Each structure stands twice: as C-alpha cells, then as structure tokens.
Structure 1
Amino acid sequence: MKNQLSFWICFLLLLTGFSSSGQTDLLFSNSMNTAIIYNPALMEANDKINLRMSGRQQWVGFPDAPQAMQFSVEHFFEEKKMGVRLQVISQSMGKELMQRLVAAYAYRVNLSNSATLNFGLGAGIYQRSILYSQLIYNDNDEPLLRPDEKYLQPDFEFGAHLSVGRIESGLAINHLGQINRDLSVRHIPLHLHAYGTYLFDLTDEYRLRTGISYHRQGKVHYLQLDAQAMLGVLEAGLGWRNKDAFILKAGIHATENLEVHYSYDMGINKLATVNSGTHEVLIVLRIQKPERSYLSPRYLDY
C-alpha cells in the first residue's frame, strides 16, 4: 500500500508538471530578492562580482516533493553600462528533473539623474528528464514499464527593469524558444513575470519596501503581495500568494558583502494538510574585484 501511495503521488506530480498547462518553473517566495532569477535585465551595479545561491524545499514531509537549487555569478561594468550573468538552475518535481543553464546580458539606459532603464537578453539550454523507471506502482516493487525520457532544448528569455527614484518595476518573459509549439512533455509554456516595488523611509535607519508581482506560467498564474521591513542589518517581512501560501521572511546583512535570507511558506491550498510547509534560503556574496596594477615607465627597461 505504501508503494502504491508513493507511485500515485509521484505520478500526480508528473501530471501537474506536463499537463495541458505544461511544465512550470518553481517560484521562489523571496520575490523582492529573487527577481534576478527570472529577469535577465536586473543586475546589481556595485562594481563587484556578485554570487547568489538559492535553495527551495517545497512541501516538507511530502514524498518526492518539488525542490529547486539556483546559483549565479554576475558583474556589471559601470563604465560600459552593461552587465553579464551566468546562471544554473536545477529542480525536481516527483520523478521529473530539470536543469537549466543561461547566460544573460543587460544594457542600461540613463533616462535622467534618478531614472534608469535596463534591457536584458538571456540564452542557454535546458534539459528535462522523466524517470519512469523509478515509479513503483504495486507492492512487488515492479517499475512502470516505460523507458525514461530525456530532452535537451535551446532556451531564450527577455527582460526589462525600470528604476525611478523609490519606484522599481520590471517585466520578464522566459522560455521564448517555445513560441508556437504544442505543449507536450518536450515543451514548456511561456513564463511571464511582472513586478513593482516602492521604498518608504520610516526613520533615518529603518525603511519599508512594499511590492506586488504577477506570474503566469501557461494556464497557471499567481499574484503575490509583499512587505519587507529593513531594520538596520536585519530584515523581516510578510507575503501572500493567492491560492497558495502566506509567507514569513527574515534576513540579515552580516557584512557589507554577505547577506542571508530565509522564507517559510504556510500553505493555504489543498496540500497544506499533508506537508509541513516550504523552506527557502538565499545567500548573497559580493566579492571585490582585484585592483588593476600599472607599471610605471620609470621602471621599464630601454
């Protein structure tokens, strides 16, 4: 009976992965800190090499629950008003695995002293694997009689990010290589993301950032509201994603170059009673570029 239960749970996760809505990317809950994951135009211009590592474990306690890992390295060249990023994302949903490698390029247009507009393009590949051989459907531990499947596809994305004083907004479209293709096991639908934030000054040291974001993945769509208080080196926040979860957030700026953020999703959907919530961790590390050294002509040999 336990094996049968595991089989149907995994099979359900597979079906939700490539049903009529198509396979979807897992959403990270710390939306005001993780928009960089899906928007190639959004890069931190701080003259440093920025590393980001994210991990998400969804539906803790649920067999073969969805999980995702992300790593990126980026740098923005201020003098050239452009930036580059390399990003790797790996996620699993039941017995369906996905790995994605994307290189992104962003260019900044200075609209005024307080307004900038970034455009970004991303290109890469993604691989999907469906492990039918690991699905056990009865007590005799017999695998599902269907061969594993693996697909490798090109992947493209576009994004824009506008910053005007205390207001920031952005739009991103992922998986552009799948336009005008039938949704099937091999293809995933367009992913559309739109967001906006506003920063309030509470005191000289404390600030409050509010945000709203919309995410559409085929026929699946979510609206998320967020509020994040920045209390010196500490952060605390709340979020709500319709039909899905309430979100608790916390963060610490340990140093100027190290941040750690955590979020916990309390589910409000039908699966909320059979799992212990969702955990997510984000680590941001900034590395100062080595200073260039120049040889003085006084020390050159003639």
Structure 2
Amino acid sequence: MADITRRAGWRHLRSAPTSHIRHQRRGRLVHEGEGLSFWFRPLTAALSEVPVDDRELAMAFHARTADFQDVSVQATVTYRIGDPAAAAARLDFSVDPGTGAWRGTPLEQIATLLTGTAQQHALDVLARTALAEALVDGVAAVRDRVAAGLAAEPRLPATGIEIVSVRVVALRPEPEVERALRTPAREQIQQEADRATYERRAVAVERERAIAENELANKIELARQEERLVEQRGTNARREAEENAAADAVRAEAEAVRKVRLARAKAEAARKVGAARAAARSAWLAAHTEVPPATLHALAVGRAAENLPRIEHLTLSPDVLTGLLARLGEGGAGAGS
C-alpha cells in the first residue's frame, strides 16, 4: 500500500520498489513506474498500484479419482504480474487518493482465477487415474498438468500474470481410506519387525547355547584337570608314604640291629661279669675251705655285726652266754690240740 501524506490541499505519494504506480490526470498518464514519489491533487488524480513482486498462492481443493475415491490436493502457485499496465486495465488496482488503500480486491480476483484454472486441470488428471496410481505418481502428474495448463491459459497473459512455479505439496485420500491403505504396509512392516525379532531371539538363543556349551566344556576340562590333580596328589602321597615306610623300615632295621648289637654286647658283658664273679666266688670259696671253722664263725659274726643296726644295749641271757662260752671253749681246745 502506497504512503500518502497531506500538505495544504495537495497529496504526496511514496511507493515501494515492488509496486508499480500509474498516475492519470484527466485521462492522461502523468506518472508510471516502480518506487515513484510525487505530488498530486486528489480531485483530478486517478491512481493505480500494481504489485510486481513474486507472490505465492496456497490452494486446497478436493477431487475424485477414476475409482470414485475422494482425494484432497494441496498446492502452491508462485506468480508475478509481468505487465502492470495490462493488469491495471483488466483488474481494479485503483487506490484511494486519501488513504492509499485498494478500492477493490484485485489479488483475490487473481487468486480465484489461478485456483479455478489449477483445479480444473488437476481434476482432469485425477478423474482418469486410479487411487493407488494417484497416490504413487499423482503429485508429479498433477504438478506437470497444472503448470502446463496455467502456461497455456490465455487469460493470464492478457491480464499480465506470469507463472513462476507450481508445487503440489500433498495428495491425500480420506482418513478412513488412508488408514485402510496403510494397513497392509503396516502389517508387512510389523511382520518384518516380528521376523527380525524372532531372528534376533534365535541368534540370542544360539549364542546362549554356544556360551553354555563353552561353559560346559570348560567345566569338563576343569573336572579332568582336577581328576589329574587328585591322581597326581594320590601318586605323590603314595610315593611319600612308600618313601616314609622305606625310611621307617630302614630306621627300624637299624634300630633293631643296634638293639641286637647292644643286647649282644650286654649279654657278652654280663657273661664276662658272671664268669668273673663265678671265678671270684670260686676263689673265695676255695679260700674259705682252707680256713678253720672258728675263723669262719668269727668272720661271719664280724660280717653280721657290720650289717646289724646300731645296738645301744645288749642283754645276754644265761642260756646264750653258757652256750657261747661252751663253743668258745671247744674252739680253744681244738686249737690247742
């Protein structure tokens, strides 16, 4: 929208660089171009403002396919006004000299023209295409057909409109049909997911089995090694026992030999001592045989006196004294004879 200011009955207009301004006074063109700035009188001026920048028009409409299924089409058409003079002559782009606002709705007229033309060509394509094919290739087909149809539309060049690009954003069926169409794909995806899950579980089970087998093999090998260890320990213990027994036997034999030798030595010593004692006894007896009985008696009494305990008092009865004196007398007599 142009910027208009008031100064003492005059008006000053300043436009944007993307707006084409046409100023006519009394039917004669006075100013024309983009980004103009000039003074004018409102009572004699006829002003038009035509935008020359690229504009995007979003449109959405319904269509029916060859198998009688409703689809919605969302598209965007980018256009520009290449001939502002032709557009201003065919459409109402006049502005209020007091406010600078459009008096009509030219852009809505252009939107209606483009939407109707694009919808007509899109319906023509979809009416000959089945739903499944339309969902697969319909976007490109509709885009190409709409672009070709708008380029061939005679009203657009006559109005000064140029088509820059056509984009089809989406082509979708009704929600129920879309869900029904998604079901097989979802089922297939789910089946693939289930198969992948089963395969993963199978691989996990196989790996667990391999791990269990490895653990069992390790346990078996460990048991074998333990068995070998026990056998080796038994062998070592048996060898140690045999060696200990052999050593004990050697020690016992040596001890027995030592004891035998000691016994023999003791026996020999005892024999020799006995022989010596016997010889001494024999000699002693032989010596006593040559001594008189009285002397032997006196020796016996002396030996007895040596072995008797200490006697403090000795009482001799008459009988004992008489017998003793008698024996002593007999002994004296024998000695004198």
Length-normalised TM-score, structure 1: 0.20
Higher relative contact order (CA closer than 8 Å, sequence separation 6+): 1
Greater C-alpha Rg: 2
Length-normalised TM-score, structure 2: 0.19
Q: Greater strand share, 1 or 2?
A: 1
